[in-house]
Amino acid sequence: MSNASQKIGFIGLGIMGAPMAGHLLDAGHQLFVHTQGPMPELFVAKATVCASAAEVTKLADIVFIMVPDTPDVEKVLFGENGVAAALTKGKTVVDCSSIDPIATKGFAKKIVELGCGYVDAPVSGGEVGAKAASLTIMCGGDEGTFGRVRPLLEKMGKNVTLVGGAGDGQVCKVANQIIVALNIAAVGEALVFASKAGADPAKVRQALMGGFASSRILEVHGERMIKRTFAPGFRIALHQKDLNLAMQSARSLGVALPQTAGAAQLMNACAALGHGQDDHSALVRALEALAQHPVAPDAA
C-alpha cells in the first residue's frame, strides 16, 4: 500500500488516543479529530478539529475510535451525529477501544451492511507503548480490510496481528487482560510476602529478575510497587472494566475463570479503597490492606 497521505479520522484523544493519533500526524496523514475532553494543542495546530463524529466521518476515508467502554463506542458509532450516520460506501472504521467481543460482532455487522469495512483493533502496552509506537495491536476483521489499515496500525504499534474475524481482536484483548491482571496479582502477593517476612522487597525483585519468575510485570510494575509510583499508565478502573468483560463473556460461554474472578475482586477492592484512578499496579494496595503491611512506605 502506498505511503501517500490519507484522510484519517480519529475520535477519542485521551491518554492512549492522543499519542496514537500523533503518530499518524507524524507520518504525514491529514487528520480530522473529535474528542469529548479537552482538545490537545497538537491537534488544534496540526489537524482539523470537528464538532462531531459524523463530521469526522464525512471528511475522512478511515475512521479510528479510541474511547473507554462498550457504551461509548456504541454512542460514537450509532448515536446522534455518530459515525454510521455519515458513512458512505467504501469507508473503513477501526475501533481500537477495548470492549465487549459480542457487542463488537454486532457493531461490525451493521457497519459492513452499510458497505463499509470494520476492524476491531484493541491495543496493549499502555501510555508508554502508545507514546513509543510500540503497542501490541490485536485485530479482528476480513483480510482485505485489515490489509488496507495495517500500514496505519504499524505507525502506532510494533506487533500488529490479524487474529481472526470480527470480534476476535477483542477476544484476544480480554485474554491479554486476564494474563496481565493475574501477573500483577502474583507479583503483588510475592512482594507483600517478602516484605512482611522482613526481606528487602527491592532486592527480592532484583534476585527474581534473574530466574524463571522474571517477567515484564515484575520488571515494570514490581518497581512501581516498591517505589510507590502509581500515576496511571493504565488505570485500575479500566482494568476493572476489562475483567468484567472477561467474567461476562465466560458466563455466556459456560467457562469458569476462578483466578480471573479473584483478580477482579482485588481490582474492585482497590476501587473501593479510592484507588480506581491509580495505575493497575496499585492492585497491590488491596493485598497490602489484607496483610496490614505495605510493600514499602508511600513517599512523603
Calpha distance 236→174 (Å, rounded): 15
The residue to which cell 528487602 is assigned: 200
Specify the amino acid at residue 121: A
Catalytic choice (173, 203, 227, 241)? 173
- Yes or no: say if 58 and 81 are a contact pair by the CB < 8 Å rule: no
CB-count exposure of residue 197 (10 Å: 0-12, 13-18, 19+): exposed
CB-count exposure of residue 167 (10 Å: 0-12, 13-18, 19+): buried
What angle, 0 to 180 degrees and rounded to 10, lies between the N-to-C axes of helices 258-272 and 168-196? 70
CA–CA distance from 152 to each of 35, 77, 183, 212, 295 (Å)? 20, 21, 31, 36, 42
Query: Is 173 annotated in the active site?
Result: yes
Catalytic residues: 173
